[in-house]
Amino acid sequence: MMKTDSKGDAQKEKIVRIAREMFATNGFEATTTRKINQEAGIAEGLMYYYFPHGKWQILDTIVYEGVMARLSTAKFSFRNINSSADLED
């Protein structure tokens, strides 16, 4: 069984958590990668190791995690769907 890089995973999660908070507080445009690095206490280039496309990739990760969390709690049943009107209801 392969062991995952738990330190790397933890670092990546920390960057996402801090960026999420900063985007919510300051806005996406006002939050720079330098500010994220400073808040996370990491070297400037390390964020790009985990997120080569910078803060856009971090935003994509945040959105993806949010969508997946909502989908995992949604319950869909298509058993009684016989028309598009049924689906809309």
- Give the chain's domain count: 1
Could you read off the pLDDT tens digit of each residue along the chain, which spans 89 residues?
444 568 889 999 999 999 999 999 999 999 999 999 999 999 988 999 999 999 999 999 999 999 998 888 877 777 778 888 877 76
Q: For residue 86, tell me if it sits in a domain.
A: no
| Domain range for 35 | 6-73
pTM for the whole structure? 0.74
Q: For residue 80, tell me if it sits in a domain.
A: no
Sign of the four-CA dihedral 70, 76, 81, 86: negative
Q: For residue 1, tell me if it sits in a domain.
A: no
Q: For residue 60, tell me if it sits in a domain.
A: yes
Q: For residue 65, tell me if it sits in a domain.
A: yes
Rounded Cα distance, 16 and 40, in Å: 10
CATH assignment of the domain containing 28:
1.10.357.10
